[in-house]
Structure 1
Amino acid sequence: MKSTFRTILFWMHLVSGLVAGIIIGLMSLTGAALAFEPQLEQWADREARQVQPPPSGAARLPVEELLARVRAAKPGVQPQGVTVYADPESAVLVSTGRGSGVYVDPYTGDVREQGGKGLRAFLHQMEELHRWLATSEDHRALGRGVTGVCNAAFLFLAVSGLYLWWPRRWTWKTVRPVLWFKGGLKGKARDFNWHNAAGFWAMPILVVLTASGVVMSYKAVSDLIFTLTGNEPPANSGPFGQTAVKVPEPPPGATPLGVDALFAEAQKQVPAWESISLRMGGGPRPGGQREGGPREGAPREGGPRGPQAMTFSIKEQGGWPLFASAQLSLNPFTAEVLRRETFADYNSGRQIRTWLRFLHTGQALGWAGQLVAGVASLAGAFLMWTGFTLSWRRFFRRRSTVATTEQELEQPPVVS
């Protein structure tokens, strides 16, 4: 019975790899290319982001002035977010769209373009391929559906491959041939050894990457995380699920405070801040989630009427987890703190869901996690290649060998 199950599982493993292997290989290669995306973008921006503070210790320009400089330098472009860094030698980042923005010297107001246009275009293309096969807006749902199914197939391949690899008897003689890459092998023996050795070392990581990908691809699976931890799933997809913050009705004729006053209050709330980002409506939410709606406290179209809270994302120096940030919502008229949320305030479902989001890219564990995720992604592509070669030998080389043998038998013997 066990042998029958193993045979059935083997053929399911083989067919799943043949059907989804090309897409899985593509997702693995693009995932490896994106492993160090944040560091690559920071490296590309190193010149634009670096500023020289005045030797006299002159005060920084107001954030409102910096935003005005961006609007003047780029007519028709509406800033969607602004990030201020505690490092006095860092420029202020003004977001102008998804993945795009400019740097502004906080002392001179000089507007600088982001660096590495070619690199950014390449990374953007890799992300498009990885998430929805670079399909157009009209077919993006289909592309996302295909990558979601293939990612789920990859998870099955990882789990079933681990089961098929598992030795019937744990002895050094049985484990050694599939534990490490052996030299001097050729043909099927080489492919078999490479496939098993790569799978042994990469599969635990690939299980994490693919399982987290499944959670991100399917809201029902994401909601299950909340349900199993006894928490109500959020209405929107993703780990954030924040409810709107209600702003008290201001007195008649009241006007919103300036951005600088709100930034000053945000700095008071987290004295050891490393960076503070203000979402000005329509900009990207933490972790790539987008938030629609008007800007700077205006009522949202189709949403609740009335003023909207100004929401800051504050990164603290030496904070843990590495991806954690405090979410601060302020009254735009009084700078009163309406809500403050840190990672510790999240319910268990939201904490797990957020961890999975950043484990998928390896960023949850810093550059070391990104390196492991990148190498495992390359191993995933290698597994697809060796899996295809093993299948080719199984289905075609055998036929070729049999035909050659039959042809040799039909030929009359050579008489010398």
Structure 2
Amino acid sequence: MVLDVTARLRRLDKWRRRKKPIKKPVIWLHRWLSLALGLVLLLITTTGAVVVYSPEWLKWTNGDVFATTQSDHPTSFSQAIATVEAAHPGFEAGSVNLYEGVIEVFAADDDRNPGFWGVDAGSGRITGHADPDRGFMAFMNQIHECFFTCDDYPGYVPWFDETVPQYGKYLPQWLQWASPRTDLTWAGFFLGSFAVILMFLALSGIWLWWPTLKKFSHGFRVRMRKGRYARDYDLHQVVGMAAVPFLLMWGLTGAGFEFNWVAPAWYAATGGQTPPDETPFTSNEVKDDKRPDIGLDAAVAAARTAGQAGDAPLVYASLPAEDDATATYSFYFSKNFDQYEHGAYPGEYGVDVDRHDPSRVHVTDLGSAATLSNQVLDNWSGALFHYGQSVNGWWRIIWFLFGLTPILLAITGVSTWLAKRSVRKRRERARAERAAAADETAIDLGDEPEPVPA
């Protein structure tokens, strides 16, 4: 009887090995990538969950600056600039941004004058000063967005900002597409690599979770009364499957921010088109010193007419540097569907205007693309999918909660690994005790000890 049971168990074990020859390496990779790199991955994903509320945090922590009034005749950008420069001699405006009814006036020299002065768009009064590059949320952005390479944020690490040595010249021709960007930094390499790891963990999780059709419902159960291992194993599976769409979305978009091979692979898989290289738009230099700069108001008017922005709300303006004859006026309008609507810097319809010639304009419409594939990756991947800035703070709770799921996955994953490790150690200890007992019995009987089967 014992031999029959042993033979059946051996046949079952042989069948399992033959049935799943690839699954064991995938399990090993899934487990050890999570355990070895989990802390850094958790750092990136958790800070990412926090920074989706960066715009709201700025408003919550600067209540006085964002105390605004309504008006049928709101203050223009040029009026706001004049008000700030009159109140603060020596201050030179470089850009203006409209957020939550406050006109944020930034200095041209942001090293000497960090942050912005707020002007109430309704009343035209200065509401106060705020610096979004300082404090808790700035540090969260430093980790998630820059990985310690933004020198404006606290926690800057110069070494991470150095360029990765290029290996493209050593690749065969058919692999040239996999060569990294020439300006890829170590921080970008780390962020992109962890994004790829996140995609692998999500995809391998689907495969390891997938039950047979006959037991499909078992993949969605949580056995709360079957002990810690069964409970945490089921929680890991169910939570992981619920989070897979978001984890894949963040992994793909995160890798696309850093690696140049993501876009061609996406276009090839979804029918997109590689966007043509564009020559940067610049103002024509003029030899006539008497030909003046057209000024902000005239540039806005040109953007609305020649740039076809129409009566769309103007939400951002960048002024040309005084000492750069080729610099332009740059504007963003919130026209049609603005995927940046609820972000700190809204506007999806961009118009650049020649500082000397209002008839020369250049349009960047982030609301349209050659194909749906291009629209998804080129225009929507950041604001709409990665950051959730196309929806208000209430809807962004979804991004926040799913951004925290890796914490639960880490806890349940480590718990099940420790439980299995504990069981394995107990089995090894019991096996050793049985072997020792068998040796003692053999000695007592005067026989040679025989090996005890495992």
Q: Fold-level match, TM-score > 0.5?
A: yes
Query: Contact conserved, 1:102 with 1:114, CA < 8 A, in 2?
Result: yes
Whole-Å separation in 1 of the counterparts to 2:367 and 2:244: 31
Cα drift, residue 136 of structure 1: 0.8
Query: Contact conserved, 1:73 with 1:111, CA < 8 A, in 2?
Result: no
Cα drift, residue 104 of structure 1: 1.8
Q: 1:163 to 1:46 in 2, by over 3 A?
A: same
What do the CA deviations read for 1:211-242 (whole angstroms, capped 9, x no partner)?
111111212323544676232465xxxxxxx5
Query: Contact conserved, 1:83 with 1:93, CA < 8 A, in 2?
Result: yes
What do the CA deviations read for 1:292-348 (whole angstroms, capped 9, x no partner)?
xxx25x43xxxxxx43321111113x5255656111121222432512232355444
Equivalences for 1:241-256 in 2 at 5 Å?
243-250=279-286, 252=288, 253-256=290-293
Query: Contact conserved, 1:82 with 1:279, CA < 8 A, in 2?
Result: yes
Give the match for residue 198 of structure 2.
Answer: 154
Cα drift, residue 197 of structure 1: 0.9
DSSP 3-state at the match of 2:34: helix
Q: What is the RMSD computed on CA atoms of the aligned residues?
A: 3.5
Query: Contact conserved, 2:267 with 2:374, CA < 8 A, in 1?
Result: yes
Query: Contact conserved, 1:69 with 1:111, CA < 8 A, in 2?
Result: no
Structure 1 position 136 matched with structure 2 position 161: no
Q: 1:342 is matched with which residue: 360, 365, 369?
A: 365
Cα drift, residue 69 of structure 1: 4.2
Cα drift, residue 378 of structure 1: 1.0
Whole-Å separation in 1 of the counterparts to 2:422 and 2:93: 59
Query: Contact conserved, 1:199 with 1:383, CA < 8 A, in 2?
Result: yes
DSSP 3-state at the match of 1:82: strand
Q: 1:182 to 1:44 in 2, by over 3 A?
A: farther
Query: Contact conserved, 1:92 with 1:105, CA < 8 A, in 2?
Result: yes
TM-score of the pair, normalised by structure 1 = 0.77
With 224-233 and 156-165 compared, the bigger mean Cα shift is at 224-233
Percent of aligned pairs sharing the same letter: 18
With 244-253 and 351-360 compared, the bigger mean Cα shift is at 244-253
Q: Give the partner amino acid of 2:34.
A: G
**How many corresponding residue pairs?**
374
What do the CA deviations read for 1:255-312 (whole angstroms, capped 9, x no partner)?
102223323444554344233311236xxxxxxxxxxxxx25x43xxxxxx4332111
What do the CA deviations read for 1:98-156 (whole angstroms, capped 9, x no partner)?
993221245454251138x7x96211111212235435133243344223222211110
Q: 1:27 to 1:160 in 2, by over 3 A?
A: same
Give the match for residue 353 of structure 1.
Answer: 378
Give the match for residue 22 of structure 1.
Answer: 39
Q: Which has the higher contact order (CA 8 A, sep 6+)?
A: 1
Structure 1 position 328 matched with structure 2 position 351: yes
Q: 2:247 is matched with which residue: 198, 206, 210?
A: 206
Larger Rg computed on CA atoms: 2
Give the match for residue 167 of structure 2.
Answer: none
TM-score of the pair, normalised by structure 2 = 0.71
Give the match for residue 261 of structure 1.
Answer: 298
Whole-Å separation in 2 of the counterparts to 1:400 and 1:233: 63
Structure 1 position 319 matched with structure 2 position 340: no
Give the match for residue 116 of structure 2.
Answer: 101
Give the match for residue 6 of structure 1.
Answer: 23
Q: 1:362 is matched with which residue: 388, 398, 406?
A: 388
Q: 1:62 to 1:149 in 2, by over 3 A?
A: closer
Whole-Å separation in 1 of the counterparts to 2:90 and 2:358: 29
Q: Give the partner amino acid of 1:32.
A: A
Q: 1:166 is matched with which residue: 210, 221, 236?
A: 210
With 219-228 and 1-10 compared, the bigger mean Cα shift is at 219-228
With 325-334 and 35-44 compared, the bigger mean Cα shift is at 35-44
Query: Contact conserved, 2:303 with 2:361, CA < 8 A, in 1?
Result: no
Q: 1:100 to 1:243 in 2, by over 3 A?
A: farther
Q: 5+ unaligned residues in a row in structure 1: which ranges?
A: 235-241, 282-294, 300-305
Query: Contact conserved, 1:93 with 1:101, CA < 8 A, in 2?
Result: yes
Q: 1:353 to 1:319 in 2, by over 3 A?
A: closer
What do the CA deviations read for 1:157-190 (whole angstroms, capped 9, x no partner)?
10011011111x213xx23343144433432111
Whole-Å separation in 1 of the counterparts to 2:293 and 2:58: 35
Whole-Å separation in 1 of the counterparts to 2:38 and 2:95: 40
DSSP 3-state at the match of 1:48: coil
DSSP 3-state at the match of 2:28: helix
Whole-Å separation in 2 of the counterparts to 1:409 and 1:395: 21
